[in-house]
Structure 1
Amino acid sequence: REQQDRARAMMGRGFDPAMFDSPEIRFNILENLVGQRVLQLQARKQKLVTSEAQLQQIILQVPAFQVDGKFSHDRYVAALASQNMNPAMFEARLMQELLSQPLQEAIALGGFSAQGAVQRYLAIVEQQREVAVAQLPLEGFLGQVKADEAALRAHYEATAASYQTPEQVKLEYALLTADALMAQMAVGAEEVKQFYNEHQKDYTQDEERQAAHILLNLKPDAKAEDKAAVQKKAEALLAQVKQAPAKFAEIASKESQDPGSAANGGDLGLFGRGMMVKPFEDAAFGMKVGEIVGPVQSDFGFHIIKLTAVKEKRVRGFDEVKSQIEQDLKRQKAAKKFGELAEKFGHLVYEQADTLEPVAKELQIEVKTSPLLTRVQVQAMAMNNAKFVQAVFAPEALQSKRNTEAVEIGPNAMMSARVVEHKPAAARPFEEVRVEVARDLTRKLASAAAAKSGAEKLALLQAGKDAGVKFDRAVTLTRQQRLPGFSEAAVQQIFRADPAKLPAFVGAPLDQGGFGLYRVSAVKEAPAAEATKLKANGERLSDQAGRELFNAYLGALKERAEVKINQKNLEKK
């Protein structure tokens, strides 16, 4: 259930509960759960703990629990309720997840990549090849192939399913959603005002300040002489910008070692308390607009700070947020009402299975009738839910014309339907689809002819002979680049060509049909990577190595643990 809730939250309308009916999916989930459990046991064994303060700090920072950038307890409760959870359940789950996090990070961060390996990786990925293509388009072979009547009929019989009219159903259906229930929810003016008064802190925008800075980097463990040299340079820059305050941005662009802000003249944008390191925050919130102070030392180094603007603390007025509060209260009430009605909806469609009228009358929802729909159209109607399609097209639903089970097709949305008309899939007569059959078979034969001709011409080119083809102008290609006329198969062949034997010729089918011949005329090795690129790619490859290291560690923990799997329960639907 917990895994379903997470998948639903991540996938939204694309969530399909039916995916959890698959033994393969269930096994993967079980593997996940076992992994989490053995990690938690190992974390406890190593006496790793998560404090209440850490837990609360993480919850306060979740955007889904915030209103106007501030934590809202009511939004927190409502968001959890929509996922069938309460704060105690969520916090207990989060505490379990956080318990093993330090252990995971310690191992995953242990991966590393040698600089030589990173250089070789970049040399391979960024190598360029000059390639010209000569295309043998499919259209050039369509006139060369011909299918007689017998071949057409044979192709039709072999691929009859491609020429069927799809199975269709006409439905009566009832849909219960929290969104629809919102229209029935009443929220009084006094209720809205009371909520505003009780949660005014949620509508308070604290003071924010905007500053620019010049940063000179310094490691926290720097030697005293290094610190003195950096501080001396910072003091010189401070004197320079104080003498010419209008040139602060220009000087910051040249001198600041903060790559994130230097390009913007040192501008850091608006920030509130708690968003900057403490020494920087204390300085910025003690300054006047236009004032320049420094050097201010933090864990990053020495800062020279210029305060450029102050946005005063402000409480959003009731009239400004009234509509939002009203909608939020309606949404909360609708979600609660949906929870109350969902069980009743399921019982009614089951207990009076030959009609949807009782559930419609009881819950004040409408029974609608669809036109004839295919499987694809039924799935689209049901928020792309595959389980609903399975329920509608199940043999018992088609034969008995009784209500399907109540299917949860999305968050706070349930649906049941009854088949009132069914048209099975039917083969279309050969005479009706003869033109389509002829088109499909002709293209198939033409593709085979293009591949045969391409292979023959490729053999001539590789033997150093004239193949009677004209190559386009050469283009530069990398392994990760896709250009028109270069299929994935073609790119693979091009980079397998021996660079010591140029020109080299390779061939591959074209994406749109036909065949492509490729002449590799030159290889351009990647230039030596700059230090920043080596570092970035080294970190990425190290992350990958760290994940592999962690997976190996997790596998070892699972092997040592006594894990018993009930295969029958795993396969049970």
Structure 2
Amino acid sequence: MLLSLMRRHAKSWLIKFLIAIIALVFIFYFGYSFRAQSGLKIASVNDDVISGVEYDKAYRDMLEAYRMQYKDMWSESLAKALDIKRQALERLIDQKLIAQEAGKLGLFVTEKELQHNIMGYPAFQTNGQFDLRRYRGLLQSNRMNPEDFEITMSQHLLEAKVKQFLGTFANVTDQEVEEQYGFYNEQINLAFVFFGSDTFKKGINPDQAELETYFKENQEKYRKPAMLKLAYLVFDPADFEKDVKVEDKDIEDYYEYNKMSFKEGKKVKARHILFKVKDKATEEEEKDVRDKAKSVLELAKEGKDFSELAREYSEDITKAKGGDLGYFTEGTMTKPFEEAAFALEAGKVSDLVRSSFGYHIIKVEDKKEERIKPLDEVKEDIRKILLKSASTETAHEKGLGIVDQMPYDIDLAKYGKEQGLEVKHSSYFAEGQAIPEMGGTPALIRALPGMNKGETTDLMDIGGKFYLFQVEDKKLSSLPELKEVEGKVRQDVISAKALEEAKKAAGEYLAELKKGEKWEDAAKEKGLKPEETGLFSRREPAGKLGALKDLKEKTFGLSEAAPYPDMVFENDKGAYVVKWTGRKSYDPEKFDKERDQYRSAILSAKQERIFGNWLGEIKADAAIKILDPKFLAERG
């Protein structure tokens, strides 16, 4: 397809000669290992074999995709948790099954369909037209070749066809849409009282036996972490910039491929005078502000110096600058202010403009139309981008080269010195905590737990630099004696007992309310201060109660007839008793606007369930054999 199109353009005899030479090298020097890998059979799906080459590619692609997704959060422990090896094999099995069943259904992807989808992809277009150079460039920058990309694209299109075919049996009724919308958008209000555990701590004095019992039951809580010391190499792109040369042609190509990123929207340069109106102001109070603003507006219209008027009358922080807002684009100011400013001609003064802040008088000083910055204006910026990109790639390749050449089980500090590299060392730090010399780097903090002395990480991208770490020394985790942590244990026992007392008091209070005691009277009698959450939906935090465990599940079914749940709620600060005080239904006008969006989401979820169930059924009936023993345990 597009790959063959490129091949047809490669007519140079020199290119053909080089390709032939490369092919001979691969045949004579790598032929055996390649054939061995190709011949390795990982699994079969209804007698359709999954080869070692297929598996290795699927695994590498999935690994790279996860690395790009998680970026600085990536770690070896996360890789293990994701079980990428099993995922890659299961994905290949699914693809085989989907392709087999699609064939039975008469579904397939034509070359024309594949070409149409790729050529219609916006990322591969320049000025709305498919750009072959852009296509190849983007794939190359993502370490993909066109053939692999087109195979993957074809698989996605085939899967989409199967989903569409199965999805024809899915239907969404108006009632389903309304029920779903109501479920997520109805709101309730809760009143609540708080029993803080701190108020129950006074008088709690645990004896030695209680401390020993608590410590024994919670010993792991006080475990001393393993202590690590690292040796590491740093590959800093800045060190490679001197070796990079950015050609003008590279800059021009980048500009052509990324023109829209240099687009500037319309801009307005303006000053304003703000007369604030306080929240919940009375009509009389608002009228007083408006009258004051009108009198200043008359002065501005008469031609008085606008900046001086702003300095004298404005209540905005720009007052000292004569109300100067500088240039701003659409979408950066409140709607009424923005509409008025962009509608004015340069040099003109607006009438009064009401926003959520109060009344504004606006003077527009200059306007700039939408444009794409010319190459000359952004040339140096692009040069810096390309310089950084190329030096980063060079640093990355250097790091990978060191990793590939490094013998197994070698001392990194010794090896680094042999290679002429500066080796750095950390001081001791607790496993799972920040490295003193590097701070709280999340990716590294997550990568190290579980690593033993002498083990080495993958090459890691941290803050735009590439690092290779080895555990130089490790002091194992251990459990302390009670006497080492007795003060902390004592405080924890007191806190635990205080929380139990708070929950007990809250439970007794709830029981009294359920027997008929009035909410206000009970609170007054106990000296408690009732508060309210304000209206919230199932998708929103419950005001000051936040995200208390089980709160929404237990309270959205309450009503005026039954306003109390059957439990108190708790967090580490204390216990809460809540009362349902009201419900607000969804907004019908908003529902009309969002109806189609919800219908589409429900339909999509149904189609995914149908597809998932269908795939599960055909997988259960399929003859799936794991031919490589190392994968038997991984699939369970």
TM-score above 0.5: yes
Partner of 2:493: 441
- CA displacement at 1:551 relative to structure 2: 1.6
> Structure 1 pair 9/37, CA: closer, same or farther in 2 (3 Å)?
farther
SS of 1:132's partner is strand
Work out the CA distance in 2 between the residues paired with 1:433 and 1:79.
57
Work out the CA distance in 2 between the residues paired with 1:368 and 1:67.
46
Q: Which residue, out of 50, 58, 61, partners 1:2?
A: 61
1:547 aligns with 2:608: yes
Partner of 1:568: 630
Work out the CA distance in 2 between the residues paired with 1:205 and 1:447.
58
Partner of 1:356: 413
Supply the AA of the counterpart residue of 1:366: E
Supply the AA of the counterpart residue of 1:496: G
Work out the CA distance in 1 between the residues paired with 2:460 and 2:263.
44
Q: Which residue, out of 428, 431, 435, partners 1:375?
A: 431
1:517 aligns with 2:577: yes
- CA displacement at 1:206 relative to structure 2: 13
Supply the AA of the counterpart residue of 1:446: A
1:321 aligns with 2:373: no
Contact between 2:185 and 2:537, CA under 8 Å: does it hold in 1?
yes
Partner of 2:108: 48
Work out the CA distance in 2 between the residues paired with 1:571 and 1:545.
33
Partner of 2:342: none
Contact between 1:111 and 1:543, CA under 8 Å: does it hold in 2?
no
1:168 aligns with 2:230: no
Partner of 1:101: 160
Work out the CA distance in 2 between the residues paired with 1:478 and 1:47.
44
Supply the AA of the counterpart residue of 2:179: R
Supply the AA of the counterpart residue of 1:511: N
Partner of 1:14: 73
SS of 1:501's partner is coil
1:536 aligns with 2:597: yes
Contact between 1:129 and 1:522, CA under 8 Å: does it hold in 2?
yes
Q: Which residue, out of 484, 491, 496, partners 2:552?
A: 491
Q: CA RMSD in A?
A: 4.4
Partner of 1:301: none
Contact between 2:188 and 2:580, CA under 8 Å: does it hold in 1?
yes
Compare 70-79 and 35-44 and name the one that shifted more: 70-79
SS of 2:516's partner is coil
* TM-score, length-scaled by structure 2: 0.61
> Structure 1 pair 106/164, CA: closer, same or farther in 2 (3 Å)?
same
- CA displacement at 1:370 relative to structure 2: 0.8
- CA displacement at 1:491 relative to structure 2: 2.9
1:345-368: CA deviation from partner (whole Å, max 9, x where unpaired): 3433537x2353443453x53210
Q: Which residue, out of 498, 513, 518, partners 1:461?
A: 513
1:313-336: CA deviation from partner (whole Å, max 9, x where unpaired): 98623x742552465266347536
1:410-444: CA deviation from partner (whole Å, max 9, x where unpaired): 49976544444443334455444332211111111
SS of 1:100's partner is helix
> Structure 1 pair 17/443, CA: closer, same or farther in 2 (3 Å)?
closer
Compare 418-427 and 550-559 and name the one that shifted more: 418-427
Compare 69-78 and 331-340 and name the one that shifted more: 69-78
Contact between 2:460 and 2:468, CA under 8 Å: does it hold in 1?
no
> Structure 1 pair 329/103, CA: closer, same or farther in 2 (3 Å)?
farther
> Structure 1 pair 410/331, CA: closer, same or farther in 2 (3 Å)?
same
Work out the CA distance in 2 between the residues paired with 1:347 and 1:123.
61
Contact between 2:62 and 2:84, CA under 8 Å: does it hold in 1?
no
Work out the CA distance in 1 between the residues paired with 2:102 and 2:179.
38
Partner of 2:218: 159
> Structure 1 pair 430/100, CA: closer, same or farther in 2 (3 Å)?
closer
Work out the CA distance in 2 between the residues paired with 1:150 and 1:165.
23
SS of 2:234's partner is strand
Work out the CA distance in 2 between the residues paired with 1:69 and 1:18.
44
Supply the AA of the counterpart residue of 2:499: S
Partner of 2:459: 408
- CA displacement at 1:124 relative to structure 2: 3.9
Mapping 1:387-426, distance limit 5 Å: 388-390=447-449, 393-394=451-452, 397=453, 402=454, 404-405=455-456, 407-410=458-461, 415-426=467-478
Supply the AA of the counterpart residue of 1:183: E
Contact between 2:502 and 2:574, CA under 8 Å: does it hold in 1?
yes
Work out the CA distance in 1 between the residues paired with 2:180 and 2:413.
63
Work out the CA distance in 1 between the residues paired with 2:631 and 2:120.
39
Contact between 1:172 and 1:367, CA under 8 Å: does it hold in 2?
yes
Supply the AA of the counterpart residue of 1:354: D
SS of 1:174's partner is strand
Supply the AA of the counterpart residue of 2:94: G
Work out the CA distance in 1 between the residues paired with 2:239 and 2:212.
56
Work out the CA distance in 1 between the residues paired with 2:508 and 2:261.
75
SS of 1:480's partner is coil
> Structure 1 pair 70/150, CA: closer, same or farther in 2 (3 Å)?
farther
Compare 191-200 and 438-447 and name the one that shifted more: 191-200
SS of 2:553's partner is helix
SS of 2:192's partner is strand
- CA displacement at 1:163 relative to structure 2: 2.8
- CA displacement at 1:372 relative to structure 2: 1.2
- CA displacement at 1:494 relative to structure 2: 2.0
SS of 1:520's partner is strand
Contact between 1:346 and 1:406, CA under 8 Å: does it hold in 2?
no
- CA displacement at 1:522 relative to structure 2: 4.3
Supply the AA of the counterpart residue of 1:13: D
- CA displacement at 1:455 relative to structure 2: 1.9
Partner of 1:186: 244
- CA displacement at 1:556 relative to structure 2: 3.2
Compare 113-122 and 524-533 and name the one that shifted more: 524-533
SS of 2:424's partner is strand
> Structure 1 pair 196/152, CA: closer, same or farther in 2 (3 Å)?
closer
Mapping 1:68-147, distance limit 5 Å: 80-81=139-140, 83-108=142-167, 111-147=170-206
SS of 1:9's partner is helix
> Structure 1 pair 206/440, CA: closer, same or farther in 2 (3 Å)?
closer
- CA displacement at 1:152 relative to structure 2: 1.7
Partner of 1:335: 393
> Structure 1 pair 185/67, CA: closer, same or farther in 2 (3 Å)?
farther
Supply the AA of the counterpart residue of 2:509: K
1:508-549: CA deviation from partner (whole Å, max 9, x where unpaired): 223343221222344555565653343332332222222212
Supply the AA of the counterpart residue of 1:88: E
> Structure 1 pair 94/424, CA: closer, same or farther in 2 (3 Å)?
same
> Structure 1 pair 568/380, CA: closer, same or farther in 2 (3 Å)?
farther
Supply the AA of the counterpart residue of 1:513: K
Contact between 2:241 and 2:391, CA under 8 Å: does it hold in 1?
no
1:501 aligns with 2:561: yes
Gaps of 5+ in 1: 212-262, 268-308
Contact between 1:502 and 1:521, CA under 8 Å: does it hold in 2?
no
SS of 1:356's partner is helix
Work out the CA distance in 2 between the residues paired with 1:10 and 1:107.
30
Work out the CA distance in 1 between the residues paired with 2:583 and 2:184.
13
> Structure 1 pair 181/80, CA: closer, same or farther in 2 (3 Å)?
farther
- CA displacement at 1:446 relative to structure 2: 1.0
Compare 413-422 and 93-102 and name the one that shifted more: 413-422
1:366 aligns with 2:422: yes
Contact between 1:167 and 1:423, CA under 8 Å: does it hold in 2?
yes
Number of matched pairs: 463
Compare 520-529 and 550-559 and name the one that shifted more: 520-529
* TM-score, length-scaled by structure 1: 0.67
Partner of 1:217: none
Supply the AA of the counterpart residue of 1:192: E
Contact between 2:98 and 2:159, CA under 8 Å: does it hold in 1?
yes
